A and B are shown apart, each in its own frame.
Chain A
Amino acid sequence: EAGVTQFPSHSVIEKGQTVTLRCDPISGHDNLYWYRRVMGKEIKFLLHFVKESKQDESGMPNNRFLAERTGGTYSTLKVQPAELEDSGVYFCASSLGGGVYGYTFGSGTRLTVV
């Protein structure tokens, strides 16, 4: 089965610009999660979708971040406008049943804001 796919793998943008990250989960996985790792710090939860609904968005840092999952398939995470502190690696993961058997992560998108 195909894994979790994220793109782009790398993105370099200027402060104030907009970037959209995309995640394609494993087909049939209703649960989709976004995490990010800011340089030198731990991996932090951003939000959780169950199908197209936001189950938990307590980790979203501020209103410059907007996540969507229209149709319950792929998800996008938009950062607008990007700030320097948004630089880091953004991971997406999907799972069956809330992750009781573990999660499958994508390779991540490395975002650099200059």
Chain B
Amino acid sequence: SQQGEEDPQALSIQEGENATMNCSYKTSINNLQWYRQNSGRGLVHLILIRSNEREKHSGRLRVTLDTSKKSSSLLITASRAADTASYFCATAGSSNTGKLIFGQGTTLQVKP
């Protein structure tokens, strides 16, 4: 299986609800990043959490990192229709060469 696996692969919720996406990885990391891709557009960097951090917040986003389980979660609170997009986690290895390893992504649909 690939590093940076995410679940669920697809998630459909109502506006106002919270959305949680999970990511697992296999090797030691320097940091883990979450990106969003709106349909037909580029990847937008959302948040970066370093290997020595356990939780990070940015607006309606909350990211957790558990290095012992090699997993991370992204929580979007009070979702909006504009949050509809694909979300990807990506890990930067402990050697921090700059190379990212991406998961297959979670497609989130927020219904108005």
Q: Residues of A at under 8 Å CB distance from B? A: 4, 6, 31, 33, 35, 41-45, 48, 55-56, 58-59, 91, 93, 95, 98-108
Contacts and interface: CB of A to CB of B under 8 A. Distances in A.
Contacts, number: 67
B92 to A, nearest CB: 6
Contacts of A33: 98-100
Nearest to B48: A102
A99 B98 CA distance: 6
Interface of B: 2, 4, 30-31, 33, 35, 41-45, 48, 88, 90, 92, 96-105
Contacts of A41: 104
A105 to B, nearest CB: 4
Given A48-B98, A95-B98, A42 B44 contact: no
Contacts of A43: 43, 88, 90, 102, 105
B35 A56 contact: no
Given A45-B101, A99-B92, 9 more contacts: A33-B100, A42-B2, A42-B4, A43-B90, A56-B97, A56-B99, A91-B43, A99-B98, A101-B48
